[in-house]
Every structure is written in structure tokens, then in C-alpha cells.
Amino acid sequence: MKREITAVAGLVAFVLAGQNVSGKTLEDVLKEKGVITEEDYKEVTKVKPIDYKLGKGFTFTSQDEKFQLSIGGRMQFRYTFMDYDKDWDKSDTSQFNAQRIRLVTQGYAYSKDFTYKLEIDPKVLSENGDSSRGGLLDCFINYKVADELQFLVGQTKVKYGYSMIQSDANLMFVDRVPWIGKMAPSYELGAFGHGKAFNGLLDYAMSVTNGDGQTYAGSTNHNAFAARVAVSPLGSMSNDEPDLAISKKPLFTIGANYFYNSLDTDENWGNYGKQWNGYKDISNYGFDTHFKWMGLAVQGEVLFGQGESYATGIDNRTMGWYGQAGYNITPNIGAAFRYSQFDKDRDTADDLESEQVGAISYYFDKHNLKVQADVGNVHTQRGADPTTDDMRYRVQAQIIF
């Protein structure tokens, strides 16, 4: 029977080759077309030493199914043209960029409840110039006691700031709001607890981390603490921005999160550190919501931050918020608009930064293969200096394999 199934699979694979790029496995297609029975399907898919699935990569599984390793990756290539305001002393720029180049390995060992992930980006290393910080993104082991209770140690994103939590591979726009890194931490080393309860209606996460930023453990006596809770009253909802599934019923999520940290001078080299280095008792908190239905996706978030300067004893208070809406005209074509605003010092006048951007996306195979373009106005208040409005044009192609 296995030989017959293999022969049929080979024939169908040859016919389908080049016709369509799909996340479905060949066995799924054969089963849907009635070429193989449910019993045959289970037999063929029981153990596959080597397998491939678009979006996950090549998967290697041991014969006893106690060990599994998947190797995949993602690439984003971007073109950006900046048309700077004539009142801003800058020349226009035209730039091609390999924005993100990711290699991802993940799987499980000894038990399917004991998982791991390693994700690296050599471009991060080349930009940073410091081998102690660049390159390494996700690097952790995770143990699942139950869906409601899981423990993770290593480096991953702190669950704070909804836009930051969402993968940059799953956006409706070419990129996130420009100020998000100043208001939300990114990758941190530490210990995490998380889980989902009531079939995904409740999602929570807590963490204790160094607070020093990506791949760094400073010699300090303080740590950072984060907590997040999200509720999805109408059922679990995917965490990507657009409604590619064209949801038949309305779905929405409401979330709240908190992050506490203290940073010595030059302790954190990320965007968050540039905003908060030299501040103690930094309290960050925020709220977010996300709604999807029939191709419509609406998302909004507000984040607040406050910290006391070691040098002056004066508090710095910041706030950032955005609202965005997108609509998938078809599963392949989507359009979106976003407005965002950032106030880096709420006690200082004329220092607001805002963005108005429209985007269009073509999804060849959801987020696995897509092309996106957006046009935006970046409005910047400069105190006594002239306010500027810069036009930004971006096109980006992405492949996940």
C-alpha cells in the first residue's frame, strides 16, 4: 500500500508543481481530492523523517517521534524613498535594503511539551557592530505543563506593547509605527511564564528579565518586570494584523500590559534605551484592542511611560498611540490606513511626532509570500525650529520558507 500511495503522490506532485504555492502538504491535497482514504492519510503522515511545509521549512523527525527539528527562514527586501521637507536641512534619499534576513530553527526534544527555538539575523550584527549584542533574536527553551501554564527561559520578546508583540512578518503595513521601540522593550534575557485558558479566551504572560536589552546582561542589581493579560470574548483570534481568513463571525481582543524597569546610563543600546537610559523607576503601561470580521481589521493601542532622571530627579512622561484599519477586498488584496502620534515629553510643548500612512498589499500565499507598498507623511514638531512634513515611500517583498 505504501508503494502505491507513494507512486500516486509522486504523480500528483508532478501535476501540481508550478501551479500553486500553498501551505497545505501534499497528503492534505490527496485526501481532499479523495485520492487516498483517511486510513491511508494516517499511515503516510504517521512518521516522516524529512518533511517540508511552507512557512515552517524543512522538518526532521526521529523514528520514535521524541525529537524534531525544523529549519526555515524569512527575508524582507525593501526600497525607501524619503522626500524631505524643504525646511529640514536634509537631502532626499533613495535606498534599497535587506531589511530582515532571518534563519529560524525550532522543534522539540524528549517530549512534544519541551520545545525550543533559535532565530538569528546576521544583518542585526552587521548594523550593531558589537558581537556581544547583535544577531541573536529568539533563543529559548519552553516547557508546557498545560495550555494554561507554560514556562520559558532564555531570550525572547517581552510581552509588552501589542504592536511589538506582533511579528513584523504579519503586518498590514511595510513596518510598525516608527516610535514603538521607544515605548516598548523588544528582546530580553530572563524567565517567562505564560499560557492560554478557556480555549484561548484568556491569554496571559509574566516575566522577570535583565532589562538591559537584546543579548546583554549588565552588571547591575536591578531587573525588569512585565505582565500582560488579553481577553477574547468571542473566541480565539489570530495575532496577525489583517483578516486574511475573512472571518465569518466577529472576533476581538482587548489587552492591557505593564512593564517596570530602571536603566543606568548607556545600559541599554536599543531604541528603548535611547529613550530611557539614565532613568530609574520607569513605569510603562498600555491598553490595546483588535477587531476582525469579514475581511475588516481594526486595531488601536495607547502606551504611557514615566521615569525619574538619576541626574536631575525630574520625571519624564511620554505617550504614544495609533489607530489603524484595513480591509481585505479579497484574500489576496488588502488596503489599510494608519494614524499614529508620539509625545516624547508630555511636559514640553511643540515636540509631537505623527504619521499618516496608507498601504496596499498583495498576498500571493498569505504572509508566506507577499508584496506591500505604503506612502506616509511624517510630521515632526521641532520646538523653535520649523515643523517639517516629510513624505516617505516604501515597497517591500517578503518570503517565508
Shared domain check, 315 and 166: yes
Q: What is the pTM of this model?
A: 0.84
Q: Do 149 and 120 contact (CB within 8 A), yes or no? A: no
Shared domain check, 132 and 197: yes
The DSSP element (H or E) to which 6 belongs, if any, is helix 2-16
pLDDT of the residue at 383: 83
Among 113-127, 175-189, 252-266, 377-391, the minimum mean pLDDT is found in 113-127
Shared domain check, 362 and 325: yes
On average, the pLDDT of the chain sits at 89
Shared domain check, 212 and 266: yes
Query: Beta partners for 367?
Result: 365
pLDDT score of 354 more than 90: yes
The DSSP element (H or E) to which 227 belongs, if any, is strand 224-231
Shared domain check, 38 and 111: no
In sequence order, which ranges of 255-326 are alpha helices (DSSP H)? 271-276
The DSSP element (H or E) to which 107 belongs, if any, is strand 93-109
Shared domain check, 261 and 283: yes
Say if residue 245 is exposed, middle or buried (CB neighbours under 10 Å; 0-12, 13-18, 19+).
Answer: middle
The CATH number assigned to the domain holding 154 equals 2.40.160.10
pLDDT of the residue at 11: 36
pLDDT of the residue at 86: 84
What does the pLDDT look like over 263-288, one tens digit per residue? 998 888 888 988 999 999 999 999 99
Q: Residue 274: which domain range?
A: 47-400
Query: Beta partners for 398?
Result: 76, 370
pLDDT of the residue at 191: 98
Among 62-76, 84-98, 177-191, 316-330, the minimum mean pLDDT is found in 84-98
pLDDT of the residue at 25: 65
- Quickly count: other Cβ atoms within 10 Å of residue 74's Cβ: 22
Rounded mean pLDDT, 25-40: 73
Closest by Cα among 266, 272, 261, 277 to 310: 277
The identity of residue 134, as a single letter, is: G
Rounded mean pLDDT, 163-175: 96
C-alpha cell belonging to residue 68: 524534531
What does the pLDDT look like over 367-379, one tens digit per residue? 999 999 999 999 9
pLDDT of the residue at 145: 98
Shared domain check, 77 and 30: no
- Quickly count: other Cβ atoms within 10 Å of residue 73's Cβ: 16
Q: Name every residue whose Cβ is closer than 8 Å to that of residue 391 and which is 6 or more positions away in sequence.
A: 82, 83, 375, 376, 377, 378
Shared domain check, 28 and 99: no
According to DSSP, residue 32 is labeled H
Closest by Cα among 348, 360, 358 to 384: 348
Query: pLDDT class for 82, splitting at 50, 70, 90?
Result: very high
Shared domain check, 64 and 10: no
